[in-house]
């Protein structure tokens, strides 16, 4: 690896895949009952380590070879991805023998179809994430699950409901109000507060380390816990042990934004009194590690049963991208992708993520 890591994408070595590149994840546990604050239901920690270090963190999922996946294997996050068959429909043409062949996308196709289609899917997924947290909360409140959750007895809660409850709490986490713990706590890796490289001292010797991190002076830092959740980089720590590698890590939500998007494109904020989100360009010239756009995500109170039933919330939260009743992709009976269908929820009062 070269001594200096730059943002030149033509380099043979992709620094973001380098085992020595630093990444962040959010680790969530029940709060310590001895130090728990009023209303605090989760304890969050932002862990910054190298990709190879995160390869020692085992998840609760198996890969195709039957071995446990690692947290490192999911870094960097790709964000939400479009179906291969849908991409084939966009980026294909007829060969001389009449067969459909995939061609390299040109800028016209990419700009008009790929970026816009993925953006619409991200909007849908954010709306579904909010609906899922509502469904899990209402369902838990009707059973013993909520009491177990606030008392820290997480191992007795269904994993799907637990993930929804944790995600709901992360919407409330802000660094200025409920700051997450940091690991390592010396935060050396965050300095200098610019560029893709951290300069650290090792025995008096200057060492340069590549990093793909949200930095403390970024607009995204205030809602870093939510950013990591939406990038699929938030995990519930399961089990008991004395070191991080003794535990299993359960991903709380599938990725919607990519690592690159939460680091340099989108900062997040949450509003409690609206149902429609907004994306706006940052009105000042940001530093080179800050984000260019601010995404306002609505998280209003859950409507009562008269206006929106729990069944309707569940239907939208669980809606498949390809199958009825609310598919994202419009597919013909002979399995051809011909367009996009449900981007926003079919029911009123479920938030639209962004516009």
Least confident of 48-52, 147-151, 246-250, 287-291: 287-291
pLDDT tens digits, residue range 273-324? 888 888 888 766 555 557 888 999 999 999 999 999 999 999 999 999 999 9
63: buried, middle or exposed (CB in 10 Å: 19+, 13-18, 0-12)?
exposed
- In this prediction the pTM is 0.90
pLDDT tens digits, residue range 82-136? 998 888 777 765 545 555 555 555 566 666 788 889 999 999 999 999 999 999 9
Distance of CA 112 to the CA centre of its chain: 25
The predicted model gives 154-174 an average pLDDT of: 96
More confident residue, 337 or 233: 233
CA–CA gap between residue 88 and residue 334 (Å, rounded)? 15
> In this predicted structure, what is the pLDDT of residue 4?
42
The answer on pLDDT for 205 being more than 50 is yes
pLDDT band per the 50, 70, 90 thresholds, residue 8: very low
């Amino acid at each position: 690896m070269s001594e200096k890591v730059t943002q030149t994408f033509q380099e043979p070595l992709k620094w973001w895949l380098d085992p020595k590149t630093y990444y962040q994840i959010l680790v969530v546990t029940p709060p310590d009952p001895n130090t728990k604050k009023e209303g605090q239901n989760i304890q969050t920690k932002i862990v910054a380590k190298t990709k190879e270090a995160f390869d020692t963190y085992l998840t609760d999922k198996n890969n195709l070879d039957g071995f446990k996946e690692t947290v490192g294997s999911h870094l960097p996050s790709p964000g939400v991805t479009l179906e291969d068959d849908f991409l084939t429909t966009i980026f294909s043409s007829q060969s001389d023998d009449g067969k459909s062949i995939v061609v390299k996308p040109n800028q016209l196709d990419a700009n008009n179809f790929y970026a816009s289609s993925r953006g619409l899917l991200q909007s849908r997924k954010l709306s579904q994430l909010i609906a899922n947290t509502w469904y899990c909360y209402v369902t838990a409140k009707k059973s013993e699950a909520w009491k177990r959750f606030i008392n820290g007895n997480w191992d007795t809660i269904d994993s799907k409901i637990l993930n929804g409850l944790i995600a709901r709490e992360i919407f409330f986490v802000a660094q200025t109000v409920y700051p997450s713990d940091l690991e390592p706590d010396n935060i050396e890796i965050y300095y200098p507060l610019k560029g893709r490289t951290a300069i650290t001292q090792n025995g008096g010797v200057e060492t340069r380390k590549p990093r793909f991190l949200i930095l403390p002076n970024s607009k995204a830092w205030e809602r870093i816990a939510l950013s990591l959740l939406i990038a699929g980089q938030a995990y519930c720590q399961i089990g008991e042990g004395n070191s991080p590698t003794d535990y299993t890590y359960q991903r709380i939500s599938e990725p919607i934004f990519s690592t690159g998007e939460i680091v340099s494109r989108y900062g997040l904020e949450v509003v409690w009194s609206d149902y429609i989100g907004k994306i706006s360009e940052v009105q000042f010239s940001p530093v080179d590690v800050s984000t260019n756009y601010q995404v306002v995500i609505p998280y209003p109170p859950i409507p009562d049963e008269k206006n929106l039933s729990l069944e309707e919330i569940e239907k939208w939260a669980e809606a498949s991208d390809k199958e009825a009743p609310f598919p994202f992709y419009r597919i013909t009976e002979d399995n051809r992708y011909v367009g996009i269908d449900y981007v926003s929820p079919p029911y009123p009062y479920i938030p639209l993520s962004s516009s």
